[in-house]
Amino acid sequence: MDAILVRGGAELNGEIPIAGAKNACLTLMPATLLSDEPLTLTNAPRLSDIRTMTSLLQSLGAEVQALQGGRVLALSSHDVTSQHADYDIVRKMRASILVLGPLLARFGRAEVSLPGGCAIGARPVDLHLRAMEALGAEMDLRDGYVHARAPAGGLRGAVIDFPFVSVGATENALMAAVLARGTTEIRNAAREPEIVDLVHCLRRMGAQIEGEGTSTLTVQGVTSLSGATHPVVTDRIELGTYMLAPAICGGTVECLGGRMDLVAAFAEKLDQAGVSVEETARGLKVSRKNGRVSAVNVVTEPFPGFPTDLQAQMMALLCTAQGVSVLEEKIFENRFMHAPELMRMGARIDVHGGTATVTGVDRLRGAPVMATDLRASVSLILAGLAAEGETLVKRVYHLDRGYERVEEKLGACGASIERVAD
């Protein structure tokens, strides 16, 4: 099993290209199931989660080809042979549940295993099921599978009013609604850029959708969708992660392809902490304003608020900030599992339920640490970049689910980082 070895202390200077968004691509790929014509995705990230979704779609009979080194995905669902999403694939990744809506909408039935993924909270699929039921589907949960069947004549438009914001449930409901008869109104919908990107792709395929970027989506169902070519939006979480690298290490890094509208709330917190974020013709340039950063308080919220997927990385920065910071996690329970590992490096963190209080220290110390989930893994790498001595981050298979070529990207800016056998 691989590990990442980091030798801390070096400033970072240079450029880091930001990949297409993992979470957007994992949503766009199942959209191929909605049409018998080809869907081509450009700017795709090269990640293990993308390979898992590829395997899932291929198990259903879809064709998926990775072109141009994996940057382009050519998908076709003209000959889907199965509506059964098997446990052996689905257990690896929660995004697998996103085949439910497309299968149900186009084929009238679906059998999807309950999903797996990072252990950062319950993240139930109840809202996904309730959305399908609102559209007229009969749902039966048994033997670890969701068994869904559309009524005769297909799904019917409806009002879907989510009790709380859910990105995945919004995506599933949206893909199911585009082929439903009549009008569907999705209330309390997620507003994330990945939702907006999905709407733009579906619209290219012929869907009739209004309201992207707001809390209400209105869908007028159509009888069929066509093929399309669509570029995957920039990964705002990878962007935010690499924006933190010069903030924690010093130096100046330009994140190529970065957009302020994707990370506005995050950039505002960096500004409060004493980190400069400057828009350029090619992306975002980041550097400290004046030496050591200052403590700030953070509350995770649905977009456009501070992203939960940047909470662990932000904690790594605040471990060396002047003063006391409070981080409140409101999206997922049990998402401070990285805190004990940071404490092994000398961080002062006190966790009570969904709140972590971080008292900044002058310097972290390198230590062997273990990644507990995807975002925790990269937070430990960031901490290692700022620490004295060597940090060995184990269980980096989590990292490979969401970050491509981390060693290469950081190494090109002067970091001492390498992948080693553990």
Numbered residues of the known binding site for phosphoenolpyruvate: 22-23
* Distances 163 to 130, 166, 172, 198, 404 between C-alpha atoms, Å: 11, 9, 16, 22, 35
Residues with Cβ within 8 Å of 210's Cβ and at least 6 positions away in sequence, in order, are 217, 218
Q: Binding-site residues for UDP-N-acetyl-alpha-D-glucosamine, please? A: 94, 123-127, 309, 331
Q: Is 280 exposed, middle or buried (0-12, 13-18, 19+ CB in 10 A)?
A: exposed
CA distances in angstroms from 32 to 118, 319, 377, listed in the order given = 25, 43, 31
| 249 in active site | no
d(CA 75, CA 98): 16
Q: Are strands 183-187 and 159-161 parallel, antiparallel or unpaired?
A: parallel
Given 25, 118, 255, 413, which residue is catalytic?
118
Cβ pair 358, 296 in contact under 8 A = no
Parallel, antiparallel, or unpaired: how do β-strands 84-85 and 138-142 relate? unpaired
Q: Which two tokens stand for residue 201?
A: 């792709």
353: CB partners within 8 A, 6+ apart: none
Catalytic amino acids? Answer: 118
